[in-house]
Amino acid sequence: MTDIPARLTVVTLGARDMPGLRRFYRALGWEEVESSGDGWSGFLLGGVLLSLYPLEDLAAEAADGAPAPAGWSGFTLACNVDGPEQVDESFAAAVRAGAAVVAEPVERPWGGRSAYVADPEGNRWEIAWAPGAGFDDRGALTSFGA
């Protein structure tokens, strides 16, 4: 067992045009999860959630408000954990392993808890607990949201 689960659960793309990006992914035949809207949208793809989030809102959480052209790529990778306390434990483990602190663990307006770290290349990882997230025995995401 590791200090932080070896999971890739969510890939989030910062969207400059949420309605347009949602239309594109729906046009591919991908079904949005029930709680999707223009403030957040998700597509469950083979156990990984593709998440669309307004770029400015994502930048406020994961990049200290910096716009994507200022050196941040506009996307984050996420590792969802089993409970809110595990966010703090996994965050600490990532920092011990050499991750840079981007945002300390906090309760989020969407009802969960998360923190952000950057790997040595600056890629943003969110460590998150989301109510309603479910996993199979391998740790793959099997459900998300209410």
pLDDT for 14-71, tens place per residue?
888 899 999 889 988 889 999 999 999 999 987 889 999 998 899 889 887 776 554 6
Q: For 120-140, what is the mean pLDDT?
A: 87
Which residue's entry shows tokens 């959480």? Answer: 61
Task: Identify which of 7, 41, 1, 4 has the alpha carbon closest to the alpha carbon of residue 24.
Answer: 41
According to the model, what pLDDT value does residue 34 have?
Answer: 94
Q: What is the mean pLDDT of the chain?
A: 88
pLDDT value for 107: 97
Helix (H, G, I), strand (E, B) or coil at 56: helix
Q: Which two tokens stand for residue 124?
A: 């943003």
Q: What burial letters (b/e) apply to 56-70, b meaning 16+ CB within 10 Å? A: eebbebbbeeeebee
Indicate the pTM of the whole model.
0.70
Residue spans of the domains in the chain: they are: 10-124+132-143
The fold of the 10-124+132-143 domain, in CATH, is: 2,3-Dihydroxybiphenyl 1,2-Dioxygenase; domain 1 (3.10.180)
CA–CA dist 112, 123 (Å, integer)? 22
